[in-house]
């Protein structure tokens, strides 16, 4: 038997028809597809044990720590090998074995870890921290830190009767490219499905619509913000997109209804966004020197187009409603799954500073501010048949812009 080779074909997501997602953790939606190829099989083995393993390795100065991830084991027979057919030859001595293994996840059973996905992508982080040395002259020294998340495949060819290992092959696995859709959700203990803010009137507005009773502006968005996607038009820029639906309500109090109805003409909005990505790794010690922190921020200014206000009148209040979508472009390097382990933590925060301006038919203006600071959890999305994006057209309303089929055959 020649030396076997192990090939990684890709990583796919579990479909509903193949497995019950309720019985699987979030990370078990991802499966690695591989192939083992051999030439001239001589029946020297009758069993193949395949192990997919992962680990988080950190080093800060002279301190080193390793955190193992759960491993996946697949046991197969030599009878599972199939002959490989060649277009140039009718017969070949090559045989191959295709296999599927669930991706390893974090070995954590606490409720805090359960809020995260459990899957940690391949990554390599570097950073610096200061170590205080107590000597005759106490001083601080800069030390370097490094964190690596690695995966590897092991294939053991055995004689099952004697458990003798005939041959062993290893292969590194890289799952750092995140082309799979990620689900973005606000991390909150609240049972409500919406996030709401009441906008505050601007104290320096040019002129209030009603000095005694101003309209109330409220903003709503779902806790499940949407999907972070990559498409062909943005792959070259290294950015991914997140489209957040937002509802805006303008409520007119009863005693101010007649005046306000005749004055409200349009609503304008501008949004400043800040996407924070924080990454921390440690060596498991309590000292501050054993931790390296890094943070990046991506800023964007948006001017979403608001459709005309829709008026729904009730017995008590007059409510104007409209909707918009915030289309964020985020660097691919800052949009990986959220992680929380003993040695590594990756978290995200989305800050939104919204400014609204109500325009009256007589030229009156009333300004409002609404600020959001949302802790966001990212996890691989549950497979969907299609995920569509929409854009607003002043004449046609919201129209479909892109259709993303998720997942493709291999998402990595």
What one-character DSSP code corresponds to residue 24? S
Q: Does one domain contain both 355 and 319?
A: yes
Final residue belonging to a domain, choices 113, 140, 173:
173
For the stretch 293-326, pLDDT in tens is: 999 999 999 998 887 777 665 555 677 888 899 9
pLDDT value of position 247: 92
For the stretch 33-84, pLDDT in tens is: 999 988 877 778 889 999 999 999 999 988 899 999 988 999 999 888 888 7
Q: Does one domain contain both 278 and 336?
A: yes
pLDDT value of position 27: 46
Q: What is the mean pLDDT of the chain?
A: 79
* Cα separations in angstroms, 341 against 31, 128, 243, 407: 21, 20, 29, 27
Greater confidence, 147 or 229?
147
Residue 157 in this model has a pLDDT that exceeds 70:
yes
Q: Does one domain contain both 243 and 349?
A: yes
CATH of the domain at 49: 2.60.40.10
pLDDT value of position 406: 44
In the block, residue with structure tokens 């969907």: 384
For the stretch 97-152, pLDDT in tens is: 999 988 888 865 555 555 556 788 899 999 988 877 666 566 778 889 999 999 99
State the DSSP string of 55-98. Answer: EEEEEETTEEEEEEPP-EEEEEEGGG-EEPP-SS-S--SEEEEE
Residue 136 domain flag: no
Q: How many domains in the chain?
A: 2
Among the residue ranges 8-17, 207-216, 365-374, the one predicted with the least confidence is: 207-216
Residue 144 domain flag: no
Confidence of residue 19 (pLDDT cuts 50, 70, 90): very low
Taking the C-alpha atoms of residue 51 and residue 153, their distance in angstroms, rounded to an integer, is: 6
| Beta-ladder partners of 196 | 220
| Beta-ladder partners of 132 | 140
pLDDT value of position 255: 62
pLDDT value of position 149: 94
Residue 141 domain flag: no
Residue 157 belongs to what domain range? 5-57+67-121+150-173
In the chain, how many H helices and how many E strands? 2, 25
Residue 26 in this model has a pLDDT that exceeds 50:
no
Among the residue ranges 183-187, 200-204, 282-286, the one predicted with the least confidence is: 200-204
Residue 195 in this model has a pLDDT that exceeds 80:
yes
Residue 155 domain flag: yes
For the stretch 390-412, pLDDT in tens is: 555 555 555 555 544 444 444 54
Residue 128 domain flag: no
Q: Does one domain contain both 100 and 244?
A: no
Q: Does one domain contain both 217 and 91?
A: no
pLDDT value of position 308: 76
Taking the C-alpha atoms of residue 359 and residue 308, their distance in angstroms, rounded to an integer, is: 12
With a CB cutoff of 8 Å and minimum separation 6, the contacts of 365 are: 205, 206, 207, 357, 358, 359
Residue 265 in this model has a pLDDT that exceeds 90:
no
In the block, residue with structure tokens 């296999």: 99
Pair 209, 366: CB distance under 8 Å: yes
Taking the C-alpha atoms of residue 250 and residue 242, their distance in angstroms, rounded to an integer, is: 26
Q: Does one domain contain both 195 and 315?
A: yes
Q: Does one domain contain both 104 and 193?
A: no
Q: Does one domain contain both 240 and 382?
A: yes
Q: Does one domain contain both 114 and 22?
A: yes
Q: Does one domain contain both 103 and 190?
A: no
The pTM of the full predicted model, rounded to 2 decimals, is: 0.81
Burial (CB < 10 A; 0-12, 13-18, 19+), residue 139, is exposed
Q: Does one domain contain both 165 and 259?
A: no
């Amino acid at each position: 038997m020649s030396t076997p080779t192990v090939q990684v074909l890709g990583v796919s997501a579990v479909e509903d028809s193949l497995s019950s997602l309720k019985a699987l953790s979030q990370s078990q939606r991802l499966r690695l597809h591989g192939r083992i190829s051999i030439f001239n099989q001589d029946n020297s083995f009758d069993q193949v044990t395949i192990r997919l393993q992962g680990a988080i390795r950190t080093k800060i100065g002279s301190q080193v720590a390793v955190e193992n991830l759960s491993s996946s084991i697949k046991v197969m027979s030599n009878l599972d090998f199939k002959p490989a057919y060649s277009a140039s030859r009718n017969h070949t001595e090559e045989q191959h074995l295709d296999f599927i293994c669930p991706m390893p996840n974090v070995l954590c059973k606490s409720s805090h870890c359960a809020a995260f996905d459990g899957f940690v992508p391949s990554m390599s982080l570097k950073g610096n921290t200061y170590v205080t040395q107590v000597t005759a002259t106490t001083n601080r020294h800069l030390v370097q830190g490094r964190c690596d998340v690695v995966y590897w495949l092991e294939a053991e060819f055995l004689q099952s009767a004697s458990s003798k290992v005939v041959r062993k092959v290893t292969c590194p696995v890289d799952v750092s490219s995140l082309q799979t859709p990620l689900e973005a959700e606000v991390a909150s203990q609240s049972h409500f499905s919406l996030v709401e803010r009441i906008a505050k009137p601007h104290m320096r507005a040019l002129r209030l619509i009603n000095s005694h009773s101003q309209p109330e502006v409220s903003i709503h968005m779902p806790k499940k913000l949407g999907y972070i996607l990559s498409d062909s038009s943005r792959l070259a820029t290294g950015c991914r997109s997140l489209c957040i639906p937002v509802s805006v309500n303008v409520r007119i109090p009863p005693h101010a209804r007649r005046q306000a109805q005749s004055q409200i003409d349009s609503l304008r909005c501008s949004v400043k966004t800040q996407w924070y990505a924080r990454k921390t790794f440690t060596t498991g010690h309590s000292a501050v020197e054993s931790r390296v922190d890094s943070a990046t921020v991506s800023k964007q200014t948006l001017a979403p187009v608001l459709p005309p206000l829709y008026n729904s009148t009730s017995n008590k209040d007059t409510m104007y409603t409209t909707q918009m979508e915030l289309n964020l472009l985020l660097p691919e390097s800052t949009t990986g799954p959220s992680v929380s382990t003993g040695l590594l933590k990756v978290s995200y925060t989305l800050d939104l500073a919204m400014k609204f301006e109500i325009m009256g038919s007589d030229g009156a203006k009333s300004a409002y501010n609404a600020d959001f600071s949302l802790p966001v959890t990212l996890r691989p999305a549950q497979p969907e048949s299609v995920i569509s994006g929409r854009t607003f057209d002043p004449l046609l309303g919201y129209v479909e812009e892109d259709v993303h089929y998720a997942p493709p055959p291999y998402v990595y």
